[in-house]
Structure 1
Amino acid sequence: MRKITNIKVPQPEKSEDEKNLFSLVLDEHGIILSIDKTCKKESSYDEDWHGDWLSPRAIDLQMNGGLGISFTDLNFNKIPKLLTLLDQLWLDGVEGICPTFVSCSLDQFQLGMEVLKETKKYTSTNRCRLLGAHMEGPFLCETYSGAHDTGSICRPSISALNERIKGFEDDIALMTLAPELKGSLDVISRLRELNIVVSLGHSSADFDSAIKAFNNGVSMITHTFNAMKGLHHRAIGPIGAAARRDDIFLGLIGDGVHVHSDMIRLLKILAPKQIVLVSDAISAYGLGDGSFNWDKRLITVENGLCRLPNETIAGSTLPLLDACKKIANWINDPSAAIWMATLAPRMVLSQNKMTVKSFFIGKNIKSLLRWKMNSCNHQLSWQLAA
């Protein structure tokens, strides 16, 4: 038996240090048997973490590809490169991803899903897991299509949905759509029957239509502020509608370019428990700066920012935990930043049915992360917990 004391667990809001200290009991194999709050800082001969944070690895709900491959353009020949990407993500501190399909043809989507099914057969202990897919489209608003191919966007309908996901109903975790479009509410209802999380995105929804969507099963906003109506003092839009309640998660690209760092700070004040970090990484993830093919278009990456030839922002290449460290400084709350990248996405996928203890009990500490805040340069860093 082994005991570790004076551990912090990430929280979405600041708390007094002494109220957020935990002790772990582990068996001889490093499996966590219990995690309990301590009333005050413990002094003992056990292992003392001195207030460092313990967290699971990150979960990325929106990742489009990496190392030159895009999930939208998968084929069976790309499985070895996909496995290399998953190995790299594990080293980058990511436990699982929702492979994200932007708007594409029916054939492209279904082939990609078949490739993912085959790739899951190669799951291993030290490899990032493929979770349920994220369908970012095709039921989107053309006015807010962003980098999506408008030729692949279509009107929402039950028949179009069923045709696309037939045979893959259990392999999809999340779908982004524009809920204001005619037919969307029926699609939302069907997705909720299938236990698929529904997110508002690439949408012209105003405050009222957003509220209606939330009341009908939409529980998240995709890359908040991007490809939607923004916050305005006379028209607060879908973001303001979400912030009025605490059951809507706000996906956020934390590179400081998609959303200004000061706006991220304001969003944290507005919706302190709702932010979920996503990378929105594209096929250029892990390749550095340069020019790369993306479907039939050219993407230029400069300082990690991806743009189409018309200057439209098209995703990012910043690793998710690098964004987490940036946000920790911007909001001056490292605990909340860790929560956004590691625990909040698990709450999304579990649809708020998990407890903090359930994230740790039964896990091997070797699979978890230890976070430190450097008291000299005030920089957050992570390492393996054991």
Structure 2
Amino acid sequence: MAGTKKIALNIINARLPGYSDLQQICIDRGRITQILPMSEMTPAQVLDVAGDWISLGGVDLQINGALGLAFPEIEAGDFPKLEGICEFLWRQGIDGFLPTLVTTSVKNFQRSLAVIAEFMQRHEPQQAKILGVHLEGPFLNYHKRGAHSAEYLLPLTIENIQRVIGDYTSIVKVITLAPELDTTGEAIAYLHSLGITISLSHSQATADEAQRAFDRGATMVTHAFNAMPGLHHREPGLLGAAIVHPGVWCGLIADGQHVCPTMLKILLQASGYEQKIFLVSDALAPLGLPDGTYPWDTRQITLKNGTAKLVDGTLAGTTLPLLVGVQNLVHWGICDVGSAIALATIAPRKAIHLPEFIDSNAAQLLRWRFDGTTRELTWRRLESILVTSG
């Protein structure tokens, strides 16, 4: 039987986020080798995308589960479920993601970290890749805990950090915490020394407290606006300090429920769009499942139209995929197409220092088409045309 071989190809007349003119993307042996202006055509087979947008797939730095599996509840026998999630997310246009472990017991943290660490040793084509883990808790402010379980919150100390992370420092990429809990400054400095990205949220921090955390190495804010004081003209708070700090990235949920479109636009304009903001899904375990009531730790959440709430009405999260946020921003007229795409594809890579385009696998490429009449933005993977029968 004939196999398949990867072809040499130039994708021409492509719009790319961050470029003002049409470009060509040079692909050789399945890897992206160059991005060149159309004036510098090189000999190769060509795919003319006629002005459509081309990007890598999305990177989701905050996702709590999918297809019914919550990442804090992963057990040793869940490899098939994890594989299913990775395949599902690939079909949703996601190249890589950080499974997010929300506040739970130390035992559950350790078990989930162990399973994910082992699973990360494998990676198959046409699967989103686990890039590491995001710990959202347990070092959160009780009064801004949101849907996090109060019984598992812990004081922010080096000893407790070591208990939670254990031997899995190498796979913990991001940790969300409330900086005001670090009264000595030692805990944040310790996490920074481990090379873990420190993100602030679920917090009542003042602007001064946030600034001290940034000085000690924090570089991110988790789900901006949510689980923190709002912007105020005399009390800018954590978010205000982040907006004016040149080295701090803010994650943003663009489902229209967590943050209203007007405030989305204010934050994006104030922060320079993909220069300091990246989109996250913050999707919960029912991602990919229909509306209904589902278990959530020891409680239940009700899912309706992609929004999940606890019984008392507390917003727990969403089940909309990451790239829906891109489509929303364009449809609402908040972003131009290139900026919106960059918020889910380029910006999250920059925020955790991943390579962006050159030498990436060409199978990751997405082709985006914008209908100016309906303001609808659609996408599809290009992988099917990047291989041919040999």
1:240–1:38: structure 2 CA closer, same or farther, 3 Å change rule?
farther
The DSSP-based 3-state class of the residue aligned with 1:218 is coil
Given residue 52 of structure 2, which amino acid in structure 1 is its aligned partner? D
Kept after mapping to 1: 8 A contact 2:9/2:45: no
Q: Is 1:3 matched up with 2:6?
A: no
The DSSP-based 3-state class of the residue aligned with 1:276 is strand
Q: Is 1:94 matched up with 2:97?
A: no
How far apart, CA to CA, are the structure 1 residues paired with 2:191 and 2:207? 22
Kept after mapping to 1: 8 A contact 2:117/2:168: no
Q: Which residue of 2 aligns with 1:379?
A: 376
Q: CA deviation at 1:45?
A: 9.7
Q: Which residue of 2 aligns with 1:325?
A: 327
Q: Is 1:368 matched up with 2:365?
A: yes
Given residue 6 of structure 1, which amino acid in structure 2 is its aligned partner? N
How far apart, CA to CA, are the structure 1 residues paired with 2:167 and 2:201? 25
Q: Which residue of 2 aligns with 1:36?
A: 36
Kept after mapping to 1: 8 A contact 2:10/2:45: no
How far apart, CA to CA, are the structure 2 residues paired with 1:333 and 1:263? 17
Q: Is 1:348 matched up with 2:351?
A: yes
Query: What TM-score, normalized to structure 1?
Result: 0.91
The DSSP-based 3-state class of the residue aligned with 1:159 is helix
Q: Which residue of 1 aligns with 2:22?
A: 21
1:40–1:240: structure 2 CA closer, same or farther, 3 Å change rule?
farther
What CA RMSD, in Å, does the superposition of the two structures yield over aligned residues?
Answer: 2.0
Question: Residues 243-273 of structure 1, C-alpha deviation per residue, up to 9 Å, x if partnerless?
Answer: 1133211101110000001111111111122
Question: Residues 14-54 of structure 1, C-alpha deviation per residue, up to 9 Å, x if partnerless?
Answer: x7xxx343222222x34322112457999x99543232222
Kept after mapping to 2: 8 A contact 1:142/1:150: yes
1:82–1:22: structure 2 CA closer, same or farther, 3 Å change rule?
same
The DSSP-based 3-state class of the residue aligned with 1:323 is helix
Kept after mapping to 1: 8 A contact 2:56/2:364: yes
Given residue 198 of structure 2, which amino acid in structure 1 is its aligned partner? V
| 5+ residue gaps, structure 1 | none
How far apart, CA to CA, are the structure 2 residues paired with 1:182 and 1:220? 16
For structure 1, which segment, 114-123 or 133-142, has the greater mean C-alpha deviation from structure 2 after superposition? 114-123
Q: Is 1:131 matched up with 2:131?
A: yes
Aligned residues: 372
The DSSP-based 3-state class of the residue aligned with 1:180 is helix
Q: Which residue of 2 aligns with 1:66?
A: 66
Given residue 340 of structure 2, which amino acid in structure 1 is its aligned partner? A
Q: Is 1:293 matched up with 2:300?
A: no
Kept after mapping to 1: 8 A contact 2:32/2:358: yes
How far apart, CA to CA, are the structure 2 residues paired with 1:45 and 1:133? 40
Given residue 21 of structure 1, which amino acid in structure 2 is its aligned partner? L
How far apart, CA to CA, are the structure 1 residues paired with 2:243 and 2:58? 24
For structure 1, which segment, 55-64 or 70-79, has the greater mean C-alpha deviation from structure 2 after superposition? 70-79
Q: Which residue of 1 aligns with 2:177?
A: 177
The DSSP-based 3-state class of the residue aligned with 1:101 is strand
Kept after mapping to 2: 8 A contact 1:66/1:286: yes
Equivalent residue for 1:339, pick from 339, 342, 348: 342
Q: Which residue of 2 aligns with 1:308?
A: 310
Percent of matched pairs sharing the same residue: 37
Residue correspondence of structure 1 range 39-54 to structure 2 within 5 A: 46-54=46-54
Q: Which residue of 1 aligns with 2:143?
A: 143
Q: CA deviation at 1:277?
A: 0.6
Residue correspondence of structure 1 range 126-275 to structure 2 within 5 A: 126-183=126-183, 185-272=185-272, 273-275=275-277
How far apart, CA to CA, are the structure 1 residues paired with 2:215 and 2:68? 40
How far apart, CA to CA, are the structure 1 residues paired with 2:298 and 2:74? 14
How far apart, CA to CA, are the structure 2 residues paired with 1:125 and 1:37? 30
Given residue 120 of structure 2, which amino acid in structure 1 is its aligned partner? K
Question: Residues 57-116 of structure 1, C-alpha deviation per residue, up to 9 Å, x if partnerless?
Answer: 111111111111111111112222222111111111111111111111111000011111
Kept after mapping to 1: 8 A contact 2:182/2:188: no
Q: CA deviation at 1:9?
A: 1.8
Kept after mapping to 2: 8 A contact 1:155/1:183: no
Q: CA deviation at 1:122?
A: 3.8
Q: CA deviation at 1:129?
A: 1.1
